[in-house]
Amino acid sequence: MTSHITVVGSINADLSVRVNRHPKPGETIFGTGGSISPGGKGANQAVAAALQGAKVAFVGAVGNDTYAAPATALMVAAGVDMEGVDTRDETTGLAVITVDADGENSIVVVPGANADVTAACVDAHAETVRTADIVLLQGEIPADGFEAAVKHATGRVVVNLAPVIPVPQAALLQADPLLANEHEAGLILELLGHPAEGEPEVMSAALVDAGFASVVLTLGGRGAIVATHDDVTHIPAAHVTPADTTGAGDAFAGALVARLLAGETLIDAASHAARVAAYAVTGAGAQPSYPDLNDSLPEI
């Protein structure tokens, strides 16, 4: 297979509703929408990378239900190789997403078939992982599936441990880079037994000191930080008016690995990823909001 990225991760159907504000505990409010769109951190990142010109293969699972087709529609349309996607006698992963008037979201995820992306599942598709130049992982599959993917990887491993789940430390430290937001960075430091405190620059440097070869810390509208053993570099954000932040971090991750596959430096790849993420927040939903190579990205 030619140079490519293999994403080992989750596939979800996203049920999205819009509200003026998020409900308080015990409160019922009215919303609009209720549409189903494709999602899941793994699927989102695969689509984002493919739309940025990368060849992408996927290892994961969907259910034997009506959600499977809409959940994978944009992956197929983007040209993602789906040979590694198994169909299980289970429901497809489901995310219930609520977006308020400011574009901020809250998300509840039902794993469904994603819980079956175990070591046995990944082992069955070991060749797809082994031949990849970059293996991209998140935290929406079981820890033993995560560990198996790292074990089979012979190329670069990029990890966006979102959500932060307990995974074997030796596997996690293979990430180059580790990609996280501020909240996740603190949880990962705690997971590794280190203090989780300080400004983003301090936390990114602490993660490098903890054993990561490189770290990319995303800061939303404040841009991102790239940290290595040599330096800590701030990546400015493009200024846009957000409509929906759903999947913006995944857009960043997919664009980042696409540019790394193309041979760019980590700083240049992160700068491009920041522009792709900024474009994504101006549209609704996750995958439907992602740009391709023909779209004009906002300037930094």
Q: What is the 3-state secondary structure (H, E, C) of 33-73?
A: EEEEEEECHHHHHHHHHHHCCCCEEEEEEEECCCCHHHHHH
Catalytic residues: 250
pTM for this one? Answer: 0.93
Q: Where are the domains of the chain?
A: 5-12+40-92+111-289
**pLDDT at residue number 1:** 59
219 is in an annotated binding site: yes
**pLDDT at residue number 178:** 98
222 is in an annotated binding site: yes
According to CATH, the topology of domain 5-12+40-92+111-289 is UDP-N-acetylmuramoyl-L-alanine:D-glutamate ligase (3.40.1190)
Strand (E) or helix (H) holding 127: helix 126-130
43 is in an annotated binding site: yes
151 is in an annotated binding site: no
Q: What is the chain's pLDDT, residue by residue, as a tens digit (300 residues)?
A: 589 999 999 999 988 899 999 999 999 999 999 888 899 999 999 999 999 999 999 999 999 999 999 999 999 999 999 999 999 999 999 988 898 998 888 888 899 999 999 999 999 999 999 999 999 999 999 999 999 999 999 999 999 999 999 999 999 999 999 999 999 999 999 999 999 989 999 999 999 999 999 999 999 999 999 999 999 999 999 989 998 888 999 999 999 999 999 999 999 999 999 999 999 999 988 899 999 999 999 988
